[in-house]
A and B are shown apart, each in its own frame.
Chain A
Amino acid sequence: MLEIRNLHARIAEDGTEIIRGLDLHVKPGEVAAIMGPNGSGKSTLSYIIAGRDDYEVTEGDILWNGESILEMDVAERAASGIFLAFQYPMEIPGVATMEFLKVSMNAQRKARGLDPMKTPDFIRVVKENAAKLNISMDMLKRPLNVGFSGGEKKRAEILQMQLLQPLMAVMDETDSGLDIDALKVVADGVNALRGPDRAFLVITHYQRLLDYIVPDTVHVLYKGRIIHSGTRELALHLEENGYADIIAKAA
């Protein structure tokens, strides 16, 4: 489904190389966790998959269902089914949340050759999904993410994911800033979307999230490369022992 081959990428502005020969393969239905110490390139990887132009790919390729996405812009990638759940969702004053949800849903429908949603259908589907995430309609009347708490922002990200029904969701440190109750709500939202056709790339610093979103595979990212891959037990090992021995082994 997603195949990253020998990816090298740098910061466009100053040329600093962040990703240095990364290989990763995620199959349909798979939940793959990416773990790694600070500064290993975890968030950068999520931005590069989403297509942020602050980064330049200098070598290698990202294949999405067999085709390179490097020439596609951010919106095209999203419309093709790739969803990025942000670590820090943007507050955008002046953009109404409901309008944003409608515009984004209809933009993706249009890109897939579907008619725009009718307003009553749209409102119904938003209400249904919002209720499951404890998101009130009052929250949705506010400008996009403005004044939302950290937990509210993350729940709003999951709501967007549920509405957009992506084929693959890249979760960038979704657990950061969440208390345990909020973490459970978010994890339930993700788990409800798991299915044979949908993959997840769960990027996290801590094992804790993986107690709630149980991964099929775990990959250790260090200095821009995957240096070790394993099963869920690898995450538990990292929790107990840290990254030092795996880094030492890979060196």
Chain B
Amino acid sequence: MNMHVPRIHTAGEKALIAAIEAARATLPGNGDVMQRRDEAAGLLRAAGLPSRKVEAWHYTDLRNLLRGIPVGAGAGAGAGASEALIDGALMLRAGDDGVGRLDDVADMPEGVAVASMASAFASGAAAPLLAVASDHDAVGMVSAAMASTGFEVLVAAGAQVARPIQLDFAASAALHAVNRINIGAGAKAMLIERAHGGGMSSLVTWLSVADGADVTFVLLQDAADDALHFGRLVIEIGAQAKVLLLAVNSGGGLVRREIDVAVNGEHSDFKLRGMNLLSGRRHVDVTMVVRHRVEHTTSTELLRNVVTGEGRGVFQGQIRVAAEAQKTDARMACNTLLLSDEGEFLAKPELEIFADDVACGHGATVAEINRDHLFYLMARGVPEAEAKALLVRAFVSELLDDLEDEALHDALNDVLSSWLATH
């Protein structure tokens, strides 16, 4: 594609470009930051949104799927309660007004420092976070062009932070945030990033995990049924570090979540546990790449998807093993339970291996509710809807059952329960 050829924009592209132009005057940033924004907007104008012809967007034809920008409840309307996923979590809240609110700053856990992104926009330090990878990087373009809030979180080396830290993004019409999170060597922490509310939102987070650190990161997206959401999480993992990422999508209208993991240090371990609950007419795309770059690293990626109504899910999972990354052990599985004839889930697992002494595997399955199981439960008097809910929970539970943190297990179980109760 030649991005300099002028092309006719779709209605969705026009609406997105108009939203960017309307927002520009109010966006924070020094010259560097504003230059990044203008470059991103210029790229979007020239290249447009990616269509199915771009391989990375093959199952999410953004150019044709995006018909307009959802207005949500309207700016300033508020997006409803932002409750802590886990009781007692330190809450960092951001809404549409671009102001990052830091609760309990006086009561910060030891070894934790947080700041609003405002000063980094003003100084230009945020400019590198507004990166656009290519002319089809729609997530990068939207974020760079409009990000106006976010947080910086630093966890000091060796800090053992028992209190979960929740970065909470409640959109009422438009909310675009970038975050930078650095976890020091040997530190232990749990972070939760929640995107909810309506309208359009984007959330790009850069997470750096230093040697020997142990991080649990929860990505929860439970936005309104017509919400448009772009997400990206970029993780760099040091030696002997452990990262457990729980990626949950239980809402949204049109959602693209990108996860880019670089396993940079030896003897480190990355785990992804993904739960996608797709109902109504939502389209949720999880696109992940894990880059094993050094020897002796492990990763497992396990996704459990439940599709009902006209829900549509996509998982593109790529494991790349560099030539130097001998003894890599990487396993990926994507399992889907289809509850309706109209729903679908498209899985594209890929292995790209340049090393010769590795153990890598992937599998994808799609199944319906087991009719024998359903009959058995109903033959004991359990009504059909309740029996199906039991079986859906059984299907998803394997993801949650090996979570060591009981509060986290219960919180995610509650997310599942409330979805089951309403779908």
Interface residues of A (CB under 8 A from B): 50-52, 73-75, 78-79, 83-84, 86, 89-90, 92-95, 99-100, 103-104, 107-108, 111, 143, 160, 164
Contacts and interface: CB of A to CB of B under 8 A. Distances in A.
Contact of B375 (A74, A99, A107, A108): A74
A92 B384 contact: no
B402 to A, nearest CB: 13
A103 B373 contact: no
Contacts, number: 69
A50 B381 CA distance: 11
A73 B378 contact: yes
Given A90-B372, A92-B376, A75 B390 contact: no
B384 A89 contact: no
A103 B386 contact: yes
A100 B381 contact: no
* B379, B387, B397, most chain A CB atoms within 10 A: B379
Contacts of A107: 380-383, 386
B378 A78 contact: yes
Given A92-B391, A95-B390, A95-B394, A75 B376 contact: no
Interface of B: 372-373, 375-384, 386-387, 390-391, 393-395, 397-398
Contacts of B373: 90, 92
A74 B380 CA distance: 8
B391 A75 contact: no
B383 A90 contact: no
Nearest to B372: A90
B391 A103 contact: no
Given A89-B376, A100-B377, A75 B394 contact: no
Contacts of A73: 378, 384
B390 A74 contact: no
9 contacts: A50-B375, A73-B384, A74-B375, A78-B378, A78-B379, A95-B391, A95-B393, A103-B382, A103-B390
Interface of B is mostly: helix
A154 B390 CA distance: 22
B386 A92 contact: no
A114 to B, nearest CB: 12
A59 B386 CA distance: 31
A52 B375 contact: yes
A98 B391 CA distance: 15
B384 A75 contact: yes
A33 to B, nearest CB: 21
Contacts of B380: 78, 100, 104, 107-108, 160, 164
A99 B378 CA distance: 14
B382 A104 contact: yes
Given A73-B378, A84-B379, 4 more contacts: A92-B376, A95-B393, A108-B380, A108-B381
B381 A164 contact: yes
A84 B376 CA distance: 9
B421 to A, nearest CB: 14
Given A92-B394, A107-B381, A75 B387 contact: yes
Contacts of B391: 92, 94-95
* B384, B390, B393, most chain A CB atoms within 10 A: B390
A75 B378 CA distance: 5
B372 A75 contact: no
A160 to B, nearest CB: 6
A226 to B, nearest CB: 24
B386 A86 contact: no
Contacts of A100: 377, 380, 390
Given A86-B376, A89-B376, A79 B381 contact: yes
Contacts of A160: 380
Which 3 residue pairs spanning A and B have beta carbons closest together? Answer: A94-B394, A104-B380, A78-B381
Nearest to A92: B373
A21 to B, nearest CB: 26
B394 A90 contact: no
A100 B386 CA distance: 11
A51 B386 CA distance: 18
* B372, B380, B394, B395, most chain A CB atoms within 10 A: B380
A164 B387 CA distance: 17
Nearest to A109: B381
A54 B375 CA distance: 10
A78 to B, nearest CB: 4
A137 to B, nearest CB: 20
A94 B381 contact: no
Nearest to A101: B380
Nearest to B374: A74
A75 B382 contact: yes
A75 to B, nearest CB: 4
Nearest to A111: B381
A251 B103 CA distance: 87
A77 to B, nearest CB: 8
Contact of B398 (A51, A94, A164): A94
B382 to A, nearest CB: 5
B381 A75 contact: yes
A103 B380 CA distance: 9
Contacts of B372: 90
A111 B378 CA distance: 13
